[in-house]
Chain A
Amino acid sequence: MNIILEKKKLSEQVYMMKFSAPLIAEKHKAGQFLIIQLNKDTGERIPLTIADSDKENGTITIIFQTVGKTTMELAELNPNDYIENVIGPLGEPTHISKNGTVVCVGGGIGVAPLHPIIQAFKTAGNKVISIIGARNKDLLILEDEISKWSDEVIICTDDGSAGIKALVTEPLKQLCEQGGIDEAVAIGPPIMMKFCAETTRPFKVKTTVSLNTIMVDGTGMCGGCRVTVGGETKFVCVDGPEFDGHLVDFDNMMLRHKSYTEQEKTAKDKHVCNLDKKIKEIQS
């Protein structure tokens, strides 16, 4: 199980991997995620979003950014390698209904988990307007796939190297002002989701965000993923990962993200250092 079938480097730090996981693919619904652990004795458990699933061929596609030791190690795996431990699909699926016009906003690798959600909204008969953003053209992902399932796609880059030079909140605001938007979904860095929620708030457009927090088990047991939503504590792994963006306490969530910054940096630096050593050994 979990044998890697395909691997593609999408940009400097972003990788796509397709692996075999028939049971997870069979059950996967838009909005759900996975937890992986590369070594059951020494590895850490990290949540990853699902970019696509293929029930027929029993495969799952993930898109991830190398931000720490585990994602860097994952990126070092190749086709025919196994991902030792994968559990999923976790979390509650997106609530999909025929609602009219839905705006789907994705930033950075947040576009990946947005992909199955766009598919599901479109399949349910909604008009889907997608706004996808990245720092520059090279970091844009899944442009074709998103276009395929959207009625309209607006591309934003920080430097204007693709689409319009704007933050995703700008076209989102324009769409809200024009009216006729029944629902919005925003997935990306926490700060982007926070500002998307702030953008839609005055227009009272229901806005769903998908949170990616620190987790251990992913089944409700540890509570490490907890966030404050509407003044109540919720667990991202079992109550989420999707919540009403207008109720999420993003500031607290962003702080909690930094719980282990020091240790994470040490681990990453050590890993990079070891890699450099290996490369030098091979070269000499």
Chain B
Amino acid sequence: MGNKSSKELLEEIEKSELSVKERLEIPQIEMPCQDPAIRRTNQKEVATGYSETDVKVEAARCLNCKAAPCVKGCPVGINIPGFISKAAEGKFEESLQIIKESSLLPAVCGRVCPQELQCMAYCTVGKKYKDPMKSVAIGRIERFVADYEQSTGKTQVPECAKDSGKKIAIIGSGPASLSAAADLGKLGHKVTIFEAFPKAGGVMLYGIPEFRLPKAIVNAEVETLKKMGINFEFNFLIGRTRTIEDLMKKDGYNAVFIGVGAGLPKFMNLPGENLIGVFSANEYLTRANLMKAYDRGNVDTPIYNSQKVAVIGGGNVAMDAARMALRLGAEEVNIIYRRTRLEMPARAEEVEHAEEEGINFLFLTNPIEIKGDDNGKVNSVVFQKYELGDLDESGRRSPVPIEGETTELEMDTVIMALGNIANPLITKTTPDLEINKRGNIVVDEENRTSVKGVYAGGDIVLGAATVILAMGEGRKAAKTIHKDLGM
């Protein structure tokens, strides 16, 4: 079935009932993307999405395995063969309803889930080709059916049960919090979300760039919640403007869910790390995304003018920061990672996109010193070379420095994308809230914290994880809250 268009493929597929062998022969439909040379100059979404024909063909690759191994790989257990078979029939609304039984943010997860490590890692088709990237493109189909609903303007506002008389406070407005809010709202509770920024969405707004996750998608989810009657309090920092104790003792909240994410950026404690031109990825991306600094001249938030950029780290955030720097006009962007490509935690598609856009990768390399000029501005970075040693506790081969092998490269910007640690504000201002040695909140299997009536989920519990895991946690906590309220 080689080099045929999806239209031709679909015509063939629709002729007769396909055998397993025939389904396996359908080639994976590539994700249409903006041309790399063009997209590196704009903020628009890189992957433009499947067409109706594309999605029907891709869905026809699904073997509808009885055991559905893919579902095991999904952190929230979406009925994947179920929604794919509806998509194959062109019943996109029904398909989406199946996803929505388990996931509240399909348009987001379809875009940002590391599918090759989750559902696609277990897909029989991928197993057959010994490559999870050749599995059924589950995320792309999920994205299509979610976008389809938004494009038809027929987004359904979930029905809410009658008022339970219970008030619930949700802290933060990222994926864990939005999911918890949606479930609790549906159950008839009066939900208020407290957010420090003036806009809702958390990491989906300030962290993930427009070119990977259009903000309109996040805003649409937030609007749906508002229509459900969820209340939002912006510019409100729990721990400062009000404490959890105030919420429960003075303001009459029956339960509190903490979904504040992992808040403090990590640095390396290198000499020169506080020079001008060294940023956390959080700062760089927040300026660019949430504060729209890319729209130079029309917004007030400035962003650094960079020519030669080193982004330190190998995760999705590193890819985002690097690709943003490129879009903001940097001549040369380098991703510096102390292990090899194999160990990089970023989504495969993001790494590919970054490469296509012309980003350099320096593997087995890590900075040891940042040097500056007389004005305190970064002008070079000294890097240490590494080799891979034995397996470490994460199950990956650990990088070992090669003595004496260092290089100094000219750079004017260094972006640290090393992950985040827990923000101590809430834990510091909530007596008796148990935390572990990393500062993450300790919860039981049902997301209860050590304080009665207080629940937590997402990155503040897990450490830095993914949107879908956070969403799953939010939903689990919502279920427990409902149960504990005696409902």
Chain A residues in contact with chain B, CB under 8 A? Answer: 23-24, 27, 37, 40-45, 69-70, 84-90, 216-217, 219-224, 226-228, 233, 235, 238, 249, 252, 255-256, 258-260, 262-264, 267
Closest partner residue, chain A, to B234 (CB atom): A85
> Within 8 Å of chain A (Cβ to Cβ): is B240?
yes
Contact A219 B196 (CB under 8 A): yes
Complex Cα spacing A221 to B279, Å: 12
> Within 8 Å of chain A (Cβ to Cβ): is B198?
yes
Contact B242 A23 (CB under 8 A): yes
A-B contact pairs, 13 of them (CB 8 A): A23-B242, A85-B198, A86-B235, A87-B236, A88-B237, A216-B291, A219-B425, A220-B263, A221-B282, A221-B286, A223-B265, A233-B269, A267-B300
With A256-B274, A256-B276, A259-B276 given, is the CB distance from A223 to B267 under 8 Å? yes
Complex Cα spacing A224 to B300, Å: 16
**A-contact bits for B267-309, CB 8 A (1 contact / 0 none):** 1010001111101101100110001100000111111110000
B273 partner residues in chain A, CB cutoff 8 A: 233
Complex Cα spacing A223 to B303, Å: 14
Complex Cα spacing A216 to B424, Å: 18
> Within 8 Å of chain A (Cβ to Cβ): is B376?
yes
Cross-chain contact of B263 among A85, A86, A221 (Cβ < 8 A): A221
> Within 8 Å of chain A (Cβ to Cβ): is B402?
no
Closest A-B pairs by Cβ, 10 of them = A255-B376, A263-B302, A222-B283, A44-B300, A40-B198, A260-B302, A223-B280, A44-B301, A87-B235, A42-B299
Closest partner residue, chain B, to A254 (CB atom): B376
With A226-B274, A227-B274 given, is the CB distance from A41 to B292 under 8 Å? yes
> Within 8 Å of chain A (Cβ to Cβ): is B375?
yes
Instruction: Name B's interface SS.
Output: loop
B283 partner residues in chain A, CB cutoff 8 A: 216, 222-224
**A-contact bits for B417-445, CB 8 A (1 contact / 0 none):** 00000011100000000000000000000
Distance (whole angstroms) from the CB of A88 to the closest CB of chain B: 7
A27 partner residues in chain B, CB cutoff 8 A: 240-242
Contact B265 A87 (CB under 8 A): no
Contact B302 A87 (CB under 8 A): no
Contact B237 A87 (CB under 8 A): yes
Distance (whole angstroms) from the CB of B167 to the closest CB of chain A: 17
With A216-B283, A252-B376 given, is the CB distance from A42 to B300 under 8 Å? yes
**A-contact bits for B200-225, CB 8 A (1 contact / 0 none):** 00000010000000000000000000
> Within 8 Å of chain A (Cβ to Cβ): is B264?
yes
Contact A258 B276 (CB under 8 A): yes
Complex Cα spacing A263 to B303, Å: 8
Given A42-B300, A90-B237, 18 new contacts (CB under 8 A) = A23-B242, A41-B299, A42-B299, A44-B291, A87-B236, A88-B237, A89-B241, A216-B301, A217-B286, A220-B263, A221-B264, A223-B283, A226-B267, A233-B269, A255-B276, A256-B276, A262-B305, A267-B302
With A219-B423, A252-B274 given, is the CB distance from A89 to B265 under 8 Å? no
Distance (whole angstroms) from the CB of A268 to the closest CB of chain B: 10
B197 partner residues in chain A, CB cutoff 8 A: 217
Instruction: Name A's interface SS.
Output: mixed
Complex Cα spacing A222 to B291, Å: 12
With A88-B241, A252-B376 given, is the CB distance from A220 to B425 under 8 Å? yes
> Within 8 Å of chain A (Cβ to Cβ): is B134?
no
B299 partner residues in chain A, CB cutoff 8 A: 41-44
Give the total of B residues in contact with A, Cβ under 8 Å. 43
Complex Cα spacing A115 to B303, Å: 34
Closest partner residue, chain B, to A249 (CB atom): B274
Q: Which residues of chain B from 209 to 264 have a CB within 8 Å of any chain A CB?
A: 234-237, 240-242, 263-264
Complex Cα spacing A150 to B287, Å: 42
Closest partner residue, chain A, to B235 (CB atom): A87
B397 partner residues in chain A, CB cutoff 8 A: none
A221 partner residues in chain B, CB cutoff 8 A: 206, 263-265, 282, 286, 423
Complex Cα spacing A69 to B279, Å: 23
B304 partner residues in chain A, CB cutoff 8 A: 259-260
Contact B425 A233 (CB under 8 A): no
A87 partner residues in chain B, CB cutoff 8 A: 196, 235-237, 241
B275 partner residues in chain A, CB cutoff 8 A: 255
Contact A219 B300 (CB under 8 A): no
Closest partner residue, chain B, to A84 (CB atom): B198
A24 partner residues in chain B, CB cutoff 8 A: 241
Distance (whole angstroms) from the CB of A164 to the closest CB of chain B: 35
A233 partner residues in chain B, CB cutoff 8 A: 267, 269, 273-274
Complex Cα spacing A27 to B245, Å: 13
Distance (whole angstroms) from the CB of A218 to the closest CB of chain B: 8
Contact A42 B264 (CB under 8 A): no
Complex Cα spacing A259 to B265, Å: 19
Contact A40 B196 (CB under 8 A): no
Distance (whole angstroms) from the CB of A28 to the closest CB of chain B: 10
Distance (whole angstroms) from the CB of B452 to the closest CB of chain A: 24
Contact A45 B423 (CB under 8 A): no
Contact B286 A222 (CB under 8 A): yes
Complex Cα spacing A38 to B276, Å: 26
> Within 8 Å of chain A (Cβ to Cβ): is B166?
no
Closest partner residue, chain B, to A46 (CB atom): B300
B300 partner residues in chain A, CB cutoff 8 A: 42-44, 69-70, 267
With A42-B300, A43-B300, A69-B300 given, is the CB distance from A222 to B237 under 8 Å? no
A90 partner residues in chain B, CB cutoff 8 A: 237, 240
Complex Cα spacing A255 to B240, Å: 30
B236 partner residues in chain A, CB cutoff 8 A: 87
Complex Cα spacing A252 to B376, Å: 8
B287 partner residues in chain A, CB cutoff 8 A: 216
A219 partner residues in chain B, CB cutoff 8 A: 196, 237, 263, 423, 425
Contact A222 B280 (CB under 8 A): yes
Contact A256 B376 (CB under 8 A): yes
A267 partner residues in chain B, CB cutoff 8 A: 300, 302
